[in-house]
Amino acid sequence: MKIIVPATSANLGPGFDSLGLSIGLFNEIQITREKLTSISIKGEGSDNLYIKKNNTFVNIFNEIYNSLTNERSNFKFSFLNNIPFSRGLGSSSSVIVAAIASAYKMAGFNIQKDRILNKSLIYENHPDNISPATYGGFTVNIVKNGEVFTKKSNIDSQIQAVVVIPNEPISTSQSRTQLQKNYPLSSCISNLSHSSFLSVCFFEKDYQSLRLAAIDKIHEDIRMSSYPILFKIRQVAYENGALMSTLSGSGSSFLNIVFRDDALRLQKKLQDNFPKFRVLLLEFDNEGFKITSKS
């Protein structure tokens, strides 16, 4: 079987730990039954021996598969990793979602995306990445009693993503330690109102209002201050047609949303200004993970 899982961008400015969307940059994993377990990796992590010896995907897959079947089997895992590690594009969540969905498929179960999502919450306790990796599109998420409740809107083809990927990674867990433990009421109200407004913009496809909606008062500038060039990325993006420019997850990548007609120009401007960084022009994804062949 082969499973394809998309990159994701979480928070989207004010929607801290609750809003996310799915981007058309995909990891692919092929799994076949074999007499001995083996792992091959192309792309991200291909030169990292630790990832081969202690592979998170394989560990979660085996744990779920064994719990479903009460048996141990051997598989060949072939990874094509396109989602960069520790850049705020949901690489960890893509691994978790794909591993669980694959285990259910290989164990002979029908794939129910809500089940996969809630199982993923055990390994990733914030739904803003695992939800769009599962369903695709733009998602609004809450968690109650260990269950994720999601509302989804497909993203229109009139907009595209221009993603700036710096060379420096940012650790999500480390960046969280920089955040305040308490926030003024005014900051909380600002984020509540802006994240609500942002959600309506996506559901109504009012992309012209995204810049107004994307203002954050809780986490973004604090995280960006450890890597000040990110402020310049946002400035250049807004000066050259971006509808929205936000830190992707905890960074270091920056997500820029732009009308299709302006996308190539924005990509070129960002690449010219930041020649040492990768600048990718990508579609949005409305499907989430896909299993493309039978076990």
Q: Which domains does the chain have, with CATH numbers?
A: 2-154+285-291 (3.30.230.10), 159-282 (3.30.70.890)
Does 94 show up as a binding residue in the annotation?
yes
Does 18 show up as a binding residue in the annotation?
no
Does 84 show up as a binding residue in the annotation?
yes
With CA atoms as reference, report the closest residue to 6 among 77, 86, 97, 128: 97
Per-residue pLDDT of the chain (295 residues; tens, 9 = 90+): 999 999 999 999 999 999 999 999 999 999 999 999 999 999 998 888 788 888 999 999 999 999 999 988 999 999 999 999 989 999 999 999 999 999 999 999 999 999 999 999 999 988 999 999 999 999 999 999 999 999 999 999 999 999 999 998 876 666 677 788 899 999 999 999 999 999 999 999 999 999 999 999 999 999 999 899 999 999 999 999 999 999 999 899 999 999 999 999 999 999 999 999 999 999 999 999 999 875 4
Both tokens assigned to 109: 């179960």
Does 293 show up as a binding residue in the annotation?
no
For residue 44, which phi and psi values (nearest 5 degrees)?
Answer: -55, 130
pTM of the model: 0.94
- Would you mind telling me the total number of residues written for the chain in this entry? 295
Does 90 show up as a binding residue in the annotation?
yes
Does 85 show up as a binding residue in the annotation?
yes
Does 89 show up as a binding residue in the annotation?
yes
Say if CB 45 and CB 81 are below 8 A apart.
Answer: yes
H helices present in 121-225, as ranges:
127-135, 172-176, 185-204, 210-213, 220-224
Say if CB 245 and CB 255 are below 8 A apart.
Answer: yes
The C-alpha atoms of residue 295 and residue 108 are separated, in whole angstroms, by 8
Whether the upstream peptide bond of residue 252 has omega within 30° of 0, thus cis, is yes
Both tokens assigned to 260: 């299709």
